[in-house]
Structure formats: structure tokens, C-alpha cells
């Protein structure tokens, strides 16, 4: 990754001011959500994970639409490779996701919002959840930013539809099992949320199987987006 390009992207994103709405909304929501104390640990973290998923899709779509055609063309020539362009954007998204994730995890601990004292297992689970929900958001955002669409409006609508379906995935599959396979390309949100339980938190074989699927899914989609990006160019 080209460090200079990371600085270029980050400065450009900050100066575009497009970070203000999603970040304000997220931080505002976290403050509002933890107004009451004595809330359950994992259920609360599950809610902030979903919020991060939404916000990171928004952030990724903004980061991917920062440049006009002419600026993008120049960057493709200035950078050692087109891959650096894509990675530069993802690193900026990951940095923002890290900041938001830390706020979401640490804020309730600081103000002592939870009814029990969180254990290491809770915190580890929360970090894992927030990280991969942010990754799903970045995947959805960068996927629809790189797909050829008639209009930008459809890209946003499609991204929102994918988010809605992926969150409702478990309920849909419960109603009709056939959707288990049809919904396979959607982010495996339920494979993470399933383990966010406030009853006896247990990390067993089932958790590791789901985690492996989540990692493979993310890796696979980053490869697909990279290919799409090259083909679109």
C-alpha cells in the first residue's frame, strides 16, 4: 500500500465533509442508545454492530465516489498499480471503521452501562462482531460502487436492499428453508449475531465454523470486488 496515497485519500475524504452525516449519526445513536444503564451486554453490542454495518456501507460508498473521472484517471497513472487505488480506499474505510468500532465498544464500558461486568469473552466477541460487520459494510459499499449501474440512485437502493435482506435473513429462512441457498451470496450477518447471546456465552465448535465461513465469505468478496474493479477499468 502506498502511504502517500493513503494520506491523499484520507485528506480528500475529510475535506469533502461527507464523513459528517454518517459519523454524527453513529456517535449520536451510540450516546442515545446508552442513555439507560443496566442494559444487557451482548444484545446491546449486537445493535451497535448492525448500526456499524449500515454506517460503514454509507462511508464506503462515499469514499468510493470521492473522485471524478479525470482525477481517477490521473491516480491510476500516478500510482504504481491500480490495486493500490483500491487498497488505499479500503484502508481509509478500515481506519474509520476502527474509530467507530472502538467508540461503540469502549463508550458503554466507560459510562458503566451494562448490568453485569463484561468479561474478556464478551469483549473479544464484541471486537470480532464489530470488525466483521464493518467489513460487511465495506464489502456492500464497495461492491455497489464498482458495479455498472444506470444511476447512482440505484446503487444506493440496491445496497440498502442487500443490507435489509441480510439482517432479516434468519427470519426469512425460518419461514421458507429454500431461501437458505438463495440468500447465500448475502453477508452472513446471522452467523455472527447467533453467538451474541446474553445467556451463558460459549465459544465452541459451532462458533468457529461460523467464524470460518464469515472470514471465507469476506475474503471471497474482496477478490470478486477486485476483479470487478479491474474489469470496470
Partner 1 sequence: MSFILEAVQVSKEIDGRQILQNISLGCSSDTRLLIRGKNGSGKSTLLKILAGITEPSSGKVKGSAQKIGYVPEHFPESLRFAVKEYLLLTSSFQGASRASIENELAKYIKLFGLEPFLHTSLKACSKGTRQKVGIIQALLTKPDLLLLDEPLTGLDAESQQVFIQLLKEEQIPIVFTSHEDTLVTNLAKEILQIETGEITLQTRNIVPEKRIRVECRMREELKGLPVSQLHYDGNIAVFTVAGNLSDQVLRELLQKNCSILEVRELK
Residue ranges in contact with partner 1 by CB under 8 A: 2-5, 7-8, 11-12, 15-16, 67-68, 70-71, 73-74, 76-80, 82, 84, 233
Q: What are the C-alpha distances in Å from 202 to residues 121, 140, 148, 195, 205?
A: 9, 30, 43, 8, 10
Q: Which is nearer to partner 1, 16 or 197 (CB)?
A: 16
We find the least distance from the C-beta atom of residue 120 to partner 1, in angstroms, to be: 42
Number of helices (H) and strands (E), helices first, in the chain? 10, 0
Q: How far apart are CA 21 and CA 188, in angstroms?
A: 27
SS3 39: strand
We find the least distance from the C-beta atom of residue 59 to partner 1, in angstroms, to be: 17
Provide the b/e sequence for 94-108 (b: ≥16 CB within 10 Å): bebbeebbebbbebb
We find the least distance from the C-beta atom of residue 75 to partner 1, in angstroms, to be: 8
**174 within 8 A of 19, measured Cβ to Cβ:** no
Can you tell me which residue has the cell 475529510? Answer: 14
Q: Which is nearer to partner 1, 79 or 138 (CB)?
A: 79
Q: How far apart are CA 228 and CA 48, in angstroms?
A: 30
Cα three-residue angle 9-11-15, rounded to 5 degrees: 120
We find the least distance from the C-beta atom of residue 231 to partner 1, in angstroms, to be: 8
We find the least distance from the C-beta atom of residue 66 to partner 1, in angstroms, to be: 9
Q: Which is nearer to partner 1, 8 or 207 (CB)?
A: 8
Q: Which is nearer to partner 1, 217 or 229 (CB)?
A: 229
We find the least distance from the C-beta atom of residue 5 to partner 1, in angstroms, to be: 6
Q: Which is nearer to partner 1, 16 or 158 (CB)?
A: 16
Q: How far apart are CA 85 and CA 233, in angstroms?
A: 12
Amino acid at each position: 500500500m502506498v502511504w502517500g496515497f493513503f494520506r491523499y485519500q484520507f485528506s480528500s475524504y475529510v475535506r469533502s465533509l461527507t464523513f459528517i452525516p454518517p459519523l454524527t449519526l453513529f456517535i449520536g445513536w451510540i450516546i442515545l442508545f446508552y442513555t439507560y444503564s443496566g442494559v444487557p451486554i451482548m444484545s446491546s453490542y449486537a445493535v451497535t454492530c448492525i448500526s456499524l454495518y449500515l454506517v460503514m456501507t454509507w462511508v464506503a460508498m462515499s469514499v468510493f465516489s470521492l473522485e471524478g473521472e479525470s482525477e481517477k484517471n490521473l491516480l491510476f497513472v500516478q500510482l504504481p498499480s491500480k490495486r493500490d487505488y483500491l487498497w488505499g480506499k479500503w484502508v481509509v474505510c478500515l481506519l474509520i471503521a476502527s474509530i467507530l468500532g472502538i467508540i461503540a465498544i469502549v463508550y458503554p464500558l466507560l459510562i458503566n452501562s451494562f448490568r453485569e461486568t463484561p468479561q474478556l469473552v464478551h469483549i473479544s466477541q464484541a471486537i470480532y462482531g464489530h470488525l466483521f460487520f464493518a467489513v460487511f459494510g465495506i464489502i456492500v459499499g464497495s461492491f455497489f460502487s464498482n458495479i455498472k449501474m444506470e444511476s447512482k440512485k440505484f446503487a444506493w437502493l440496491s445496497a440498502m436492499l442487500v443490507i435489509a435482506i441480510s439482517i432479516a435473513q434468519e427470519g426469512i429462512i425460518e419461514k421458507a428453508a429454500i431461501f437458505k441457498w438463495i440468500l447465500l451470496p448475502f453477508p452472513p450477518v446471522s452467523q455472527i449475531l447467533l453467538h451474541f447471546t446474553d445467556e451463558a456465552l460459549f465459544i465452541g465448535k459451532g462458533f468457529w465454523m461460523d467464524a470460518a465461513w464469515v472470514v471465507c465469505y469476506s475474503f471471497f468478496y474482496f477478490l470478486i470486488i477486485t476483479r470487478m474493479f479491474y474489469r470496470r477499468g
